[in-house]
Amino acid sequence: MKIILVCTSMENLTGSPLYHYTLAKELAKEHEVSVLSRWAINKLQFDLEDAGVEILTEAKGEYDLAIVSQQDFPLPNAKKTIHVIHSEYDCETPRPNMEHYVAIRPSIKRHLVKEHYIPAEKISVIYNGIDLERFAPVPKVKKDYFKIVIPATRDALRQKMFNYYSKRASKDYRVYIYGKQFSANIKGDYVYQFDEVDNIEEHMADADLVAGILLGRVNLEARAMNIKSIIHNPDDPEDFYEYYPDRKTFEEKHDIKRVAKQLCQ
- The predicted-structure confidence for 5-33, as pLDDT tens digits, reads as follows 999 999 999 999 999 999 999 999 999 99
- The predicted-structure confidence for 153-195, as pLDDT tens digits, reads as follows 999 999 999 999 999 999 999 999 999 999 999 999 999 999 9
Question: Residue 38's closest CA among 20, 51, 26?
Answer: 20
Q: How far apart are CA 102 and CA 129, in angstroms?
A: 13
**Mean pLDDT, rounded, for 46-54:** 97
Count of C-beta atoms within a 10 Å radius of residue 81: 19
Would you say residue 140 has pLDDT above 90? Answer: no
Would you say residue 141 has pLDDT above 90? Answer: no
Topology alike, domains 2-126 and 146-250 = yes
Which are the contacts of 183, defined by CB distance < 8 A and separation ≥ 6?
Answer: 154, 155, 156, 159
Q: What fold is seen in the domain 2-126? A: Rossmann fold (3.40.50)
Q: Where are the domains of the chain?
A: 2-126, 146-250
- The predicted-structure confidence for 64-77, as pLDDT tens digits, reads as follows 999 999 999 999 99
**Mean pLDDT, rounded, for 135-150:** 94
- The predicted-structure confidence for 185-217, as pLDDT tens digits, reads as follows 999 999 999 999 999 999 999 999 999 998 889
Chain centroid, CA 124 distance in Å = 18
Question: Residue 177's closest CA among 213, 158, 149?
Answer: 149
Does the pTM of the predicted model rise above 0.85?
A: yes
CATH architecture of 146-250: 3-Layer(aba) Sandwich (3.40)
